[in-house]
Structure 1
Amino acid sequence: MLELTGRRRRPTDAAAATHLTGYLVDLGAGPVVPEAADRLPVGICSVDRLGRISYMNERAERLLGQPRADLIGRVLWEAVDSFGQAAHEDHYRAALLSPDPVHFLLRGTDEWLSVTLHSSLDGLTLTLDAGAQPTYAPGSVAEPGAGLGSPADRAVALYRPVALAIALTEAVTARQVSAVVTEELLPAFGGRQLAIYMLSNRHLYLAWETGFPRGFLNRFDGVGLDTKLPGVETLTSGRPLFFESMQKLAAAYPGIPMDAHVGARAFLPLIASGRPVGSCILGFDRPRGFSPEERTVLTALAGLIAQALERARRYDSEAALARGLQDALLPHRLPAVEGLDTVARHLPGTQGMEVGGDWYDVIDTGRGMALIIGDVQGHGVQAAATMGQLRSAVRALAVSGHTPVEVMTGTNRLLIDLDPGLFASCCYIVLDPATGRADAVRAGHLQPLLRHPDGRTDVLALPGGVVLGVDARAVYPVTELFLEPGAVLALFTDGLVEQPGVDIDLGIERLRLTFSELGYAPLSDTADRLINEARQTPDRPDDIALLLAARWSQPAGTADGVPVP
């Protein structure tokens, strides 16, 4: 390296020459990068994607208070306690997910540190410097360095808000939205209590609560917009309200009932596209400060929550309409026929629109009893409406004396002509209770089960055609069956046997075994037992329809006063 210094002077003598003086420095053949980094006034630390420290300069060594030799090769948040606080995990995730630097303040051993994370494909580079105690950290209110509730952890990471926003897009009901807020928002900010109030007819009604004493919030349910309460005023003014301690809340609203004497509260307005939706209350079990960054992020997240709740409100209205439509279209009672008992069950799904196109029916055709099960693709009002059209079409064709093949063919053509953009599966069986003879056709539907009088249960192998609504020239072959006295036929939709990640054949086999083991239990008890497991499952992606038909040797249900097959 050649270093030259000097200043050119105007010579007094034209013949005189000017000079530059300098030094020649020989750095030798060794690397210069570590020494160069040691000269910087900021600390530099490099970690790989697993968090292992691969480099640290002298300034970082002094700021962290540990020798470099003891730290190289160790995981940063395991080797340095101040980096291991749970609140900082989101910072590391955010840095790895985003190309932008992530900055936060960290309470070191003796002083605050200003930390910036820079990501690359190989890991993270940290720059560290001495930082001032945050101006929003009220030492008299919240003790610094005390975990999730401390001001030191209040620099909001990108990861949790983004996770909340993504989860909110998948929530469709108000209950699902509230559950997402509970699972994502509370842990991100160290909250312990949450309450969501929805606006209706100028009154706020409690829609969700967690963490508050039982019954405490009931006194605020249905309050009017003219009530002087923070949950009301945050909505009417459109401004969030933050109280760093319960004493400050009591001073601002004298006489307000409080569930605790220690803690902090945040009241957020839920406003979607300028329309008031409700208010959200976040509770903390210890006093704490709210940084400007936190206030900004919480206000923005409240807007996302409001939009999700507004979507959920529209969904609830449509779901109520669809449920009412479905209830009106399904048969309220099944016909009583000598020699034949029938029982049906319907269970709506609990995910998505909750209302699908599953249906069942039992029709007296004049030549036998038609046993029908069907499933329209999709959920919602359109699926329910299409189901109603198909049920009406099948019923009209059945009572007009058409054969099973003609019923299925005519229904297929009708669905194609209607062109709702949906297809449907169906199984149609006409049974003569007196003789036990049956004719069956199937359009892409699951095979029925047949339990014989001796308890042996088979999955039938009915040949069938494609689902309805796809091919106008589809052919639906008919299969002849015979049901002995005491035999029970089970028709069902896929919601009864499908489970995520499990082969549907395993579900059918499980149903067959259960059906076989139930023996001669009353038909209604058999139906309840078959869908009991599904009824206990909180997340059912699809509807369930089940139709059981039992042929009896005596007038339906009796023989010398004793039910027998």
Structure 2
Amino acid sequence: FLPLIASGRAVGSCILGFDRPRGFSPEERTVLTALAGLIAQALKRAQRYDSESALARGLQNALLPHRLPEVDGVDTLGRYLSGTQGMDVGGDWYDVIETGHELALIIGDVQGHGVSAAATMGQLRSAVRAFALSSHDPQEVMSGTNRLLIDLDPGQFASCCYIALDPVTGVARAVRAGHPQPVLRRPDGRTEVLDLPGGIVLGIDEQASYPVTEMRLEPGAMLALFTDGLIERPGTDIDEGIERLRATVERIGAVPLAETADQVIGEARAATDRPDDIAILLAARWAETQKVRRLREDQAPGPDLWRTFRRPDPGRAAGAPDPAS
């Protein structure tokens, strides 16, 4: 029986069995005692790894949104998958925030893995949400988050992409901080990688500027935001990964967002035996929304046009006058 002692504390015991009684020489006792010390250290490291991994995953799950807001005119879907084969959970995150008449689409990636990356991710997500809900424009949101990360000084940097979308008009204002370019699938099926000018990653330069690009998400279009785990492959350029994703989204076509996410993530997982963390946020604009219909009704020239948009009253007898006319 060998007690397993690490840092002065018992972490277990090792029992060696033999097929017949035997004694142990001083040399054998020395070897077995040294072996017990090595086993104890290895067991303690494994326990610490399991504890830190569980803590990091718990932080990640607690800090990511459990559900996304339901907004008339836009469907959104977010997915997060942690890396495998010994890689700790990372700092990838996504979020969707209602900011008055706009919808903020956010995706980001904190450098590194483990508890520290997950904790920094939570701080950045809270900062972006606070700035967005304070009616700041996209450039101010990104600049304020950058200054906050520098003040926190966690020894890490992060990339981020922030898009403020008007669900009624489809007008979007996008800002990017060292993050991969989003992919846009147009209503006719054509898919392109957006060319959004951006600034450096967050947490490096307090005076960094982040230009805003205005574009329009047409009815029936879909926007894909993602982290580098979806496109990076060992030994290949990241631009090849983005082009591969663009071609996949174009090939999939106009299918439900859940099916799109399943296919692009499945292909990313199959392409490498050592995947990184993956976060993806999809947003699709409807062809026509209730709010757009209400705007048309408000601008109608007379009661005849209004009645074409009214839901018929099931309680009114056939041929009876409509009291709303």
Aligned partners of 2:274, 2:16: CA distance in 1, in Å? 31
- Percentage of matched positions with identical amino acids: 76
Question: Structure 1 pair 461/294, CA: closer, same or farther in 2 (3 Å)?
Answer: farther
Does structure 1 residue 410 correspond to structure 2 residue 144? yes
Report the 3-state secondary structure (helix = DSSP H, G, I; strand = E; otherwise coil) of the residue aligned with 1:462. coil
State yes or no: 1:358 paired with 2:85. no
User: Does residue 270 of structure 2 align to residue 544 of structure 1?
Assistant: no
User: CA offsets per residue over residues 458-480 of structure 1, 9 Å max, x none?
Assistant: 11110000111111110100111
CA-to-partner distance for each residue in 1:247-293, whole Å, 9 max, x for gaps? xxxxxxxxxxxxxxxxxxxxxxx54355443456899xxxxxxxx99
Q: Secondary structure at the match of 1:498?
A: coil
> 1:348·1:544 contact (CA, 8 Å) conserved in 2?
yes
The answer on whether the counterparts of 1:372 and 1:427 sit within 8 Å (CA) in structure 2 is: yes
Question: Residue deviations 1:396-450, cap 9 Å, x none?
Answer: 1111111001111111111111111111110000111211111100000010011
- 1:196-345 superposed matches below 5 A: 234-235=1-2, 238=3, 270-273=4-7, 275-278=9-12, 300-301=34-35, 303-345=37-79
Matched residue, 2:177: 443
- C-alpha RMSD of matched pairs (Å): 2.8
Which residue in the other structure is 1:511 paired with? Answer: 245
> Structure 1 residue 390 and structure 2 residue 127: aligned?
no
Q: Which amino acid aligns with 1:523?
A: L
Q: Does 1:430 align with 2:164?
A: yes
Aligned residue-pair number: 285
Secondary structure of the structure 1 residue equivalent to 2:287? coil
Structure of greater Rg: 1
Q: TM-score of the superposition, structure 1-length normalised?
A: 0.47
Q: Report what 1:452 is aligned to.
A: 186
CA distance 1:515–1:326, shift in 2 (3 Å): same
Measured after TM superposition, the shift of residue 540 of structure 1 is: 3.9
- 1:520 — aligned with what? 254
Question: How has the CA–CA distance of structure 1 residues 280 and 494 changed in structure 2, closer, same or farther, with 3 Å as cutoff?
Answer: farther
Question: Taking structure 2 as the reference length, what is the TM-score of the superposition?
Answer: 0.79
Q: Verify the 8 A CA contact 1:416 1:469 in the aligned structure 2.
A: yes
Counterpart of 1:490 in structure 2 is 224
Alpha-carbon separation, structure 1, partners of 2:287 and 2:64: 29
* Distance 1:299-1:497 versus aligned 2 partners, 3 A rule: farther
CA distance in 1, matches of 2:248, 2:271: 17
- Which AA in structure 2 matches 1:504? I
1:296 shift after superposition: 7.1
Task: Say if 2:230 and 2:279, in contact at 8 Å, map to a contact too.
Answer: yes
SS for the counterpart of 2:232 is coil
Quote the residue 2:211 is aligned against: 477
Q: 5+ unaligned residues in a row in structure 2: which ranges?
A: 18-25, 291-325
Kindly tell me: are residues 310 and 475 of structure 1, through their superposed partners in 2, closer, same or farther at Cα, counting changes over 3 Å?
A: same
* 1:341-385 residue CA offsets vs partner (Å, 9 max, x unmatched): 000000112255522111100011113111000011111222111
Cα pair 1:496 1:544 within 8 Å, conserved: yes
CA displacement 1:460-501 (0-9 Å, x = unmatched) = 110000111111110100111111111110000011111222
Contact 2:269–2:275 (CA<8 Å) still a contact in 1? no
- For the 8 Å contact 1:360–1:547, the answer to whether it is kept is yes
Q: Deviations over 1:209-249 (max 9, x none)?
A: xxxxxxxxxxxxxxxxxxxxxxxxx24xx4xxxxxxxxxxx
- Are the aligned partners of 1:315 and 1:353 in contact in 2 as well (CA < 8 Å)? no
- Say if 2:233 and 2:272, in contact at 8 Å, map to a contact too: no
Given the superposition, is the C-alpha separation of residues 455 and 537 from structure 1 closer, same or farther in structure 2, using an over 3 Å criterion? closer
CA contact (8 A) 2:90 2:110 kept: yes
Judging changes above 3 Å, is the alpha-carbon distance between structure 1 residues 308 and 527 closer, same or farther for their aligned structure 2 residues? Answer: same
Q: Secondary structure at the match of 2:141?
A: helix
The alpha-carbon distance between structure 1 residues 516 and 338, as it changes in their structure 2 partners (threshold 3 A), is: same
Equivalent residue for 2:113? 379
Rate the CA distance shift 1:552–1:280 in 2: closer, same or farther, 3 A: farther
- Secondary structure, aligned partner of 1:385: helix
Q: Give me the whole-angstrom Cα distance separating, in 2, the residues matched to 1:320 and 1:274.
A: 25
1:102 is matched with: none
SS at match of 2:200: coil
Q: Would the aligned equivalents of 1:352 and 1:541 in 2 still touch at CA under 8 Å?
A: no
Report the AA paired with residue 131 of structure 2.
Answer: L
Q: Give how far 1:509 is off.
A: 1.8
Query: 2:92, 2:277 within 8 Å by CA — same for their partners in 1?
Result: yes
Structure 1 gaps of 5+ residues are 1-233, 239-269, 284-291, 557-565
Equivalent AA in structure 1 for residue 78 of structure 2: A
- Asked if structure 2 preserves the Cα contact closer than 8 Å seen for 1:349 and 1:539, the reply is no
SS at match of 1:334: coil
CA contact (8 A) 2:168 2:289 kept: no
Q: Find the aligned partners of 2:190 and 2:16 in 1 and give their Cα distance.
A: 59
- Higher relative CO (Cα under 8 Å, sequence separation at least 6) belongs to 2
1:399 aligns with 2:133: yes
Q: Using the alignment, how far apart are the partners of 1:511 and 1:470 within structure 2?
A: 29
Q: Deviations over 1:67-122 (max 9, x none)?
A: xxxxxxxxxxxxxxxxxxxxxxxxxxxxxxxxxxxxxxxxxxxxxxxxxxxxxxxx
Task: Give the C-alpha shift of residue 534 in structure 1.
Answer: 4.2
Question: Which segment drifts farther, 350-359 or 409-418?
Answer: 350-359
Q: What is the CA–CA distance in structure 1 between the aligned matches of 2:89 and 2:245, rounded to whole Å?
A: 23
